[in-house]
Structure 1
Amino acid sequence: MTLLRRLLLVVLVFGLLLIGGLMRFVDTVARQAEPPPGQRTDGIVVLTGGSGRLTTAIRLLDAGHAERLLISGVSTGASKATLAQSLTQALPEHLLARPEQPGIDVPALMECCVDLGFEATDTAGNAAEAVAWATGRELHSLRLVTANYHMPRALVEFRRQAGSITILPHPVRPDFLRVEDWWRHRADGFFLLGEYSKYVAALIRMRIEDQIDGWLKADS
């Protein structure tokens, strides 16, 4: 019975820590806001994989929030032309440049000011790809555009690899996820639990790698 009680206590403590951590994570996601209007960076990097990210990034580029944009994690079959076509279809009609109205000229922006990154297959790869891009172009600050639920994990990876490059988070709120009342919707709850688990895994991996680096430096 004593062993059983101890086991139940461990399970209870673990469950409370999990719930507490998840609630703090969700609160962080819900409280995220866009940077103040007019705040500019040297470059913009947008991570593929969710609705609204690319349209947000191209609108920021068109509005002059940076001079150049990296789309990181592009599939090998994509090109500037296919992405321009998709963005043109996704943007509201009244925002697009037409002969009779000013607006966003997506193909022109793609040609002049957008770079595509094909190497990244995960968030750590996105960070490595973006930092290499920024370093090669001597950019000292990046506006990071990704979904609000993905931003905490993305910031862990980006800030670890960024060095002296400043990272400005610009979260995008996806239409499919209801963060404010997630506990009312089972699908949203399980989705956020999965994202929280990935976030914790990224933190643990980062600390393990830092510890190993510390041991290697001490031995050298």
Structure 2
Amino acid sequence: MFRRIAAFIVLIWLFGFLWFAVALPPPVPSDVRTDAIIVLTGSQGRIEHALDVLKADAAPRLLVSGVDREVTPGEFAAEFSVPDQLMKCCVTLGYQAYDTHSNAKEAAQWVSEHKARSVRLVTADWHMRRAASELGRELPPGVTLVRDAVPSRPSLGALILEYHKMLARTALNLAGR
């Protein structure tokens, strides 16, 4: 009996992981407009994509959540070729976040301050499900969250780790935490 239960649990985990790894969320078409963009720092391509969306006028403002405290706005602008005028009017660097949960808290506060009713979340495809779940729990009621996943090539190890983090967050959510 124990073997059957263990085999069933392993099969559930395996099928869940296969779904997680194969059906990564896609990017959003560039013509989708929102009130704001939130990009979580991390893997390559996230910030560049968020800035492209901002420059395409698909949203009027951008929060970069999880910026290292030592990075100045000037250094950021130089690194990502952001014109001064765009940096001053439309880009906020968030220095409070250090993980996905604190990204969500920082972003939700910024969304409230800017009274945004729709937000485009930009992060890596493998990170999107958990990041969107975390942010969705923190956003004010009535805010629409658009998931704009940046395609990537995650390693098997990164996928397994992220899948376990997502399972743990789901379990905590079900437990009411």
Q: Map 1:55-204 to 2 at 5 A.
A: 55-88=48-81, 105-162=82-139, 163-174=141-152, 176-177=153-154, 188-204=155-171
Paired letter, 1:49 = G
- Structure 1 runs (4+) deviating above 6 angstroms are none
Match in the other structure for 2:176: 209
Q: Which ranges in structure 2 are unaligned for 5 or more consecutive residues?
A: none
Secondary structure, counterpart of 1:209 in structure 2: coil
Using the size of structure 2 for normalisation, the TM-score is 0.93
CA distance in 2, matches of 1:147, 1:106: 25
Q: Which residue of 2 aligns with 1:7?
A: 2
Give the Cα separation in 1 of the matches to 2:158 and 2:28.
Answer: 26
Question: How do 1:30-49 residues align onto structure 2 when only pairs under 5 Å count?
Answer: 32-49=25-42
Identity of aligned residues (%): 34
Aligned to 2:16: 21
The 1-side partners of 2:175 and 2:70 are apart by 36
Q: Which has the higher helix share?
A: 1
1: distance between equivalents of 2:5 and 2:114?
Answer: 51
Distance 2:151 2:29 in 1: 16
Asked if 1 retains the 8 angstrom alpha-carbon contact of 2:46 and 2:124, the reply is yes
Partner of residue 44 from structure 2, selected from 42, 45, 51 = 51
Letter in 2 for 1:60: V
Q: TM-score, normalization: structure 1?
A: 0.75
User: How far apart are the structure 2 equivalents of 1:28 and 1:85?
Assistant: 35
For structure 1, the residue ranges without an aligned partner over 5 or more in a row are 1-5, 89-104, 178-187, 211-220
Quote the RMSD (CA, aligned, Å).
Answer: 1.5
| Alpha-carbon distance between aligned partners in 2 of 1:134 and 1:22, rounded to the nearest angstrom | 32
AA partner of residue 110 (structure 1): M
The secondary structure found in structure 1 opposite 2:80 is helix
Contact map agreement 2:104 2:134 (CA 8 A) in 1: yes
* Number of the residue aligned with 1:101: none
